[in-house]
Amino acid sequence: MNLGSVIFLLILSSALSLFVGVVAWRRPLAPGSRPFAILMFAVTWWTILYALEWLLPGMEQKLWAARLEYLGIVLVPGAWLLFTLRQAGFNRRVPNLFAAALVLAAILSLLAIATNDWHRLFYIQVQLDTNTPYPMLDIEYGPLFYALIAYTYLLLLAGALLLGWRFIRASGDHRWQAAVVLLSAFPPWIGSLLYLTGVQPLPHLDLTTFGLALTGILNMAALFRFRFLDLVPVARDMVIENLADGIIVLDPLDRVVDANPTARRLLSVTPAAIVGRAVTEVLAARPDLLQQYQQASVPARPDAVAPGSVSLPVIPTFTHEVRLTPLLNMRQQIRGRVLVIHDISERRRLASLYTTLFAMTRTTDLSSLLKLLVEQATNLLDASSGDLYLCQPGSRQLQCLVSYQTEQDFTGLVLPFGEGVAGMVAATAKPLIVNDYPAWEHRAAAYASEHSFRAAMGAPLLWQGQATGVINVMRSADQAGFTDYDVQTLTIFASQAAVVVENARLLDTTQHYASELEQRVSERTAALRAANIKLQELDTMKNEFVSNISHELRTPLANIKLYLRLLETGRAEKQPQYLATLHKESALLQTLIEDLLDLSRLDMKKAPANLATADLNELVQSWVNHRAGLIAERGHRWETDLQPDLPTVNADAHRLIQVLSNLLTNAIYYTPPGGLIQIITRRQVNDDKPWVTLSVRDNGPGISAEEQAAVFGRFFRGAAGRASQRPGTGLGLAICQEIAQIHGGRLTLESSVGHGSTFTFWLPAWALGDRHSKSDDFLP
């Protein structure tokens, strides 16, 4: 090998290293990309200066180049270790202090080289060897040089072990990727050992640079063939490590191979104490989990294994649910199993709430119902005691009707509004938490000698916007205080309890009068039957409301709780995204509540509140101008076809705008870009009666015949609404229909799939004047 060949190979090596470094640097989100790029840049610097060392003629020039080489050499081991740490999935476990220590070690090495003329501990003696075809430096190294070599080998070895560990844990294409990256760790070792032992094709030729170049080539192959800078392998590990569910990986003999932190925390074991042990031994500390595991049935033969996971039967008393999933290879052979431990405490709590509500609907006796309410609320909130007060009609006082598990029996106690938890809740009609009741300034005097509890929480029983009673739950001093989530649970419970109590009261009253009237007047029997039918209708409406509102509230509340937990434990850079999601879910929840309140107000009214003469054309033109920007932003075309000389209508203008807003907003969101939206007003005659109509027509996806039958139902969202993923409550059209009915009109729909929809709002025109006017006079 001649000098030209050496220089060519060094230049080629530096070019390859520089190319790989640039590619890695341009992928900042990939695990280990920045340390790997620094490693390749350091190798590039080292190789270029080493080529200069061969080319420069005199000893001083060669020594100058050799010293500059160490600017790259000292960075190689630290960058290599940081790269392998991140490739092995330790992105968040490498403290800044550790990285700073690596940088400090590099700086100290450079200082030792720069001050060698003073201490001679790095280079003892340097001379030019002219006995070779190409004169090169002949250096006698000192102890600091060998200390640097030992430090470098130690970090390279640590990196190789990390890559080996990653190779063992990898699977599929990621295993080949890990194998190539692991293989790239060995060429520098081989080149360095050949240089130190003197086995070289040319005297003084350091093969380490060529080994590092080969490392770059192998990593470049991994980069383009196996995409080793992808996020997927490390991201998968991070997801498993941070899952709220416990994950335990078992081998074919049901021995533990790995377990994530959640599983180790549930079982109170360390990684060293769990790996390699039989899973039955590991689960022995948790008999509930062991019992579920033993009940699992996974077929022993590969051909009998069904895809997916095998769920174990859930025992109601368990707080965690165990599921087993087989791990199959390409031939569908079992290579192990994954045991998933899922916390079902929240699900059990909700199930308990629904079971309680159902039990209450089955109890019609008021006294038994009130006792059941307090008992179930106490158990639901993990409280030690509880009581229930009902407001006395015509006064601002409450009377205790149930006292459950308190030291004293407070049954019959009368409290004024504003005194104690019950009095404050009744006065404000809002829930209240007092986690230090003995020190609370508004505590009731009657409870001064009561020492069975420290924390108290109360929620109002609201009926038609008024507090009819208060339900309280208390916790003892050895229990934790109440939380915001506890007050939400009790508020939901109390809101449904109020309905049940009022139903029970009404039922009790009805039965009492029925027994009296049955003896006196037989004609009253029909009225009593009508009252019972009304009660049944109310009960049905209550059950439907509980079912619908529980479902609609659960999703945003669950998302809000999830993203609140992510704000506490997630990465800081994700917090804006979590806050945006919280705002969106809160807005959805607010819209749902406002719609429910609107429906409640409409249900209680039989006629519009603010009737006045209104020009429908003027309202339409004003609102369309207001929405023109949104229509244009969505890329729609719009037309108004307003019939001239349209009679004014006697209506609530605010409600008319609400209907127009709902119909027009739906048309805007469900019409594809470039579509046409038409707003039409007409005078029409239907059933021999004159009407004024407002129609909103679009050329969107249309509504199927099956969905048209339910489109005006509450909480209904059709296929188009679900597919659009646009937030909505499913109450908009129901509200519009209610508004139409209290005006004496109706809301109709004409639609077919693929041909758009037309919603028409019918307002009676005969209400303007003589109800007996001829419809012929009304025709245009």
For residue range 552-578, list pLDDT tens digits in order: 566 667 667 777 877 788 777 777 877
Is residue 122 over pLDDT 80? Answer: yes
Q: What is the mean pLDDT of residues 669-691?
A: 87
Question: Cα dist. 618→122, 213, 611, 649 in Å?
Answer: 93, 78, 17, 12
pLDDT at residue 363 greater than cutoff 70: no
3-state secondary structure 638-702: EEEEECCCCCCEEECHHHHHHHHHHHHHHHHHHCCCCCEEEEEEEEEEECCEEEEEEEEEECCCC
pLDDT band at residue 585 using 50, 70 and 90 as cut-offs: low
Q: Token match 């609201």: residue?
A: 462
Pairwise CA distance, residues 587 & 559, whole Å: 12
Distance from C-alpha of 261 to C-alpha of 649, rounded to nearest angstrom: 68
In a domain, 395, yes or no: yes
User: Does the pLDDT of residue 184 top 50, yes or no?
Assistant: yes
Compute the distance between CA of residue 739 and CA of residue 733 in angstroms, rounded to an integer. Answer: 10
For residues 603-620, give the mean pLDDT. Answer: 75
Q: Which of 53-67, 183-197, 224-238, 324-338 has the highest mean pLDDT?
A: 53-67
Q: Is the pLDDT assigned to residue 42 strictly greater than 80?
A: yes
User: What gap in Å lies between CA 775 and CA 87, rounded to an integer?
Assistant: 82
Confidence of residue 334 (pLDDT cuts 50, 70, 90): confident
DSSP-based three-state secondary structure for 228: coil
| pLDDT reported for residue 390 | 92
Asked if 77 and 150 sit in the same domain, the reply is yes
388 and 458 within one domain: yes
Q: Are 72 and 49 in contact (CB under 8 A)?
A: yes
pLDDT at 654 > cutoff 50: yes
- Please answer whether residues 436 and 482 qualify as being in contact, where contact means their C-beta atoms are separated by less than 8 angstroms: no
Q: Is pLDDT larger for residue 95 or for residue 735? A: 735
Higher pLDDT, 304 or 521: 521
Taking the CB of residue 418, how many other CB atoms lie within 10 A of it? 12
Whether 22 shows a pLDDT value over 70: the answer reads yes
* pLDDT the model gives residue 232: 46
Question: Within 13 Å and on the Cβ side, how many CA atoms surround 606?
Answer: 0
Out of 235, 262, 278, a domain closes at: 235
> What would the mean pLDDT of 693-701 be, rounded to a whole number?
90
**Domain boundary residue among 294, 325, 343?**
343
Q: Where are the beta strands (DSSP E) in 58-201?
A: 123-129, 136-141
**Integer Cα distance of 92 and 314 in angstroms:** 36
Within 313-440, residue ranges assigned H as helices are 345-361, 366-380, 420-428
The confidence band for 75, taking pLDDT boundaries of 50, 70 and 90, is: confident
CA distance to 99, 159, 171, 195, 635, per residue, from 41 (Å): 18, 18, 31, 22, 50
Mean pLDDT score, 378-388: 89
Per-residue tokens: 205: 């030729």
Which residues lie closer than 8 Å to 131 by C-beta, 6 or more apart? none
Distances (CA, A) of 512 to 280, 378, 527, 600: 62, 31, 14, 30
- The mean-pLDDT minimum among 182-186, 224-228, 342-346, 770-774 falls in 770-774
The enclosing H or E element of 241 equals helix 232-242
CA–CA separation, 746 vs 761, rounded Å?
6
Residue 570 inside a domain? The answer is no
pLDDT for the residue numbered 330: 52
Residues of the chain with pLDDT > 90: what percent?
10
- Point out the domain boundary residue: 235, 262, 281: 235
| Separation CA 367–CA 381 (nearest Å) | 22
Establish if 598 belongs to a structural domain.
no
What CATH code is carried by the domain that includes residue 448?
3.30.450.40
- CA dist 120 and 137 (Å) reads 16
Q: Check pLDDT > 80 for residue 690.
A: yes
- pLDDT, residue 311, reads 38
| Residue 778 pLDDT level (bands cut at 50, 70, 90) | very low
- Residue 580: inside a domain, yes or no? no
Same domain, 280 and 315: yes
Q: In whole angstroms, what is the distance from residue 485 CA to residue 433 CA? A: 11
- 503: its two tokens: 């139903």
Same structural domain, 338 and 352: no
> With 90 as the cut, is the pLDDT of residue 707 above it?
no
Alpha-carbon distance of 387 to 295, in angstroms, equals: 42
DSSP 255: B
CA distance 409 to 402: 9
Nearest to 490, CA basis, from 410, 425, 548: 425
Provide the CB-side half-sphere exposure for 64 (13 A, CA).
8
Q: Give CA–CA dist 120/556, Å, rounded.
A: 71
Q: What φ, ψ does residue 389 adopt, rounded to 5°?
A: -115, 145
Residue 311, domain CATH: 3.30.450.20
Residue-level pLDDT at 207: 66
> Cβ(400)–Cβ(388) under 8 Å?
yes
Does pLDDT of 518 surpass 80?
no
Q: Is 333 in the same domain as 428? A: no
96 is a domain residue? yes
Provide the pLDDT for residue 416: 93
CA–CA distance, 455 with 525 (Å, rounded to integer): 50
DSSP state of 278: B
- The answer to whether position 641 is within a domain reads yes
**Mean pLDDT over residues 6-29, rounded?**
76
Residues 191 and 230 in one domain: yes
Partners of residue 310 on adjacent β-strands: 324
Beta strands in 63-221 (DSSP E): 123-129, 136-141
State whether 449 and 462 are in the same domain.
Answer: yes
What mean pLDDT is reported for the chain?
76
Q: Say if residue 146's pLDDT is above 70.
A: yes
Rounded to an integer, the average pLDDT of 99-107 is: 80
Question: Residues 363, 339: one domain?
Answer: no
Is residue 256 pLDDT above 90, yes or no? no
pLDDT band, residue 459 (cuts 50/70/90): very high
Predicted pLDDT at 546: 60
| Domains identified in the chain, total number | 4
Q: Kindly state the helix (H) or strand (E) to which residue 394 belongs, with its residue range.
A: none
Whether residue 181 contacts residue 219, with contact meaning beta carbons closer than 8 Å, is answered with yes
Domain assignment present for 554: no
pLDDT (0 to 100) of residue 200 = 58
Asked if the structure places residue 553 within a domain, the reply is no
Residue 759's SS3 state is strand
3-state class (DSSP) for residue 290: helix
The Cα diameter of the chain in Å comes to: 135
What predicted TM-score, i.e. pTM, was given to this entire model?
Answer: 0.35
Q: What is the pLDDT of residue 398?
A: 93
Q: Which pLDDT tens digit goes with each residue over 305-325?
A: 344 343 333 334 567 778 888
Ranges 315-319, 371-375, 459-463: which has the least confidence: 315-319
- On the question of pLDDT at 215 being above 80, the answer is no
pLDDT > 50? residue 231: no
Pairing mode, if any, of strands 676-686 and 637-642? parallel
Of 83, 46, 222, nearest in space to 160 by CA: 83
CATH of the domain at 211: 1.20.1070.10
Partners of residue 691 on adjacent β-strands: 684, 764
Task: Say if residue 288 is in the same domain as residue 433.
Answer: no
| Per-residue model confidence (pLDDT) at position 760 | 94
pLDDT score of 91: 54
Contact 96, 174 (CB under 8 A): no
- Per-residue pLDDT tens over the stretch 712-770: 877 777 666 666 556 566 777 888 888 888 888 899 989 888 888 999 999 988 654 43
Name the residue range of residue 506's domain: 348-520
Highest mean pLDDT out of 65-69, 329-333, 508-512: 65-69
Higher pLDDT, 542 or 484: 484
- The pLDDT, as a whole number, for residue 626 is 76
**Amino acid symbol at 394:** G
Percent of the chain with pLDDT over 70: 69
Cα(152)–Cα(80) distance, integer angstroms:
10
Residue range 223-242: mean pLDDT, rounded = 52
Rounded Cα gap, residues 264 and 336, in angstroms: 19
Does 622 share its domain with 509? no
**Range with lowest mean pLDDT among 28-42, 374-388, 702-716:** 28-42
Least confident piece of the model among 1-15, 165-179, 205-219, 498-512: 165-179
Domain match, 28 and 133 both:
yes
The mean per-residue pLDDT over the stretch 396-423 comes to 91
Separation CA 95–CA 82 (nearest Å): 11
Treating both helix axes as pointing N-terminal to C-terminal, what angle do 616-633 and 653-670 enclose, rounded to 10 degrees? 30
| Whether residue 374 has pLDDT greater than 80 | yes
Q: Rank 90-94, 165-169, 673-677, 726-730 by mean pLDDT and report only the highest.
A: 673-677
Question: Who wins on pLDDT, 600 or 76?
Answer: 76
Are 155 and 192 in contact, with CB atoms under 8 Å apart?
Answer: no
Question: Of 69-73, 162-166, 217-221, 376-380, which range is least confident?
Answer: 217-221
Residue closest to 454 by CA, chosen among 480, 432, 486: 480
Q: What is the pLDDT at residue 400?
A: 93
Q: Are residues 286 and 413 in the same domain?
A: no
What pLDDT sits at residue 421?
Answer: 93
Residues counted in the chain:
780
Q: Which two tokens stand for residue 535?
A: 């009660």
Report how far residue 5's alpha carbon sits from residue 15's, in angstroms, rounded to the nearest whole number. 15
Cβ neighbours of 541 (radius 10 Å)? 12
Q: Is the pLDDT of residue 237 over 90?
A: no
Cα gap 80→393, rounded to integer Å? 80
* Confidence band of 634 (pLDDT split at 50, 70, 90): confident
Please report the sign of the dihedral spanned by the C-alpha atoms of residue 568, residue 571, residue 574, residue 575: positive
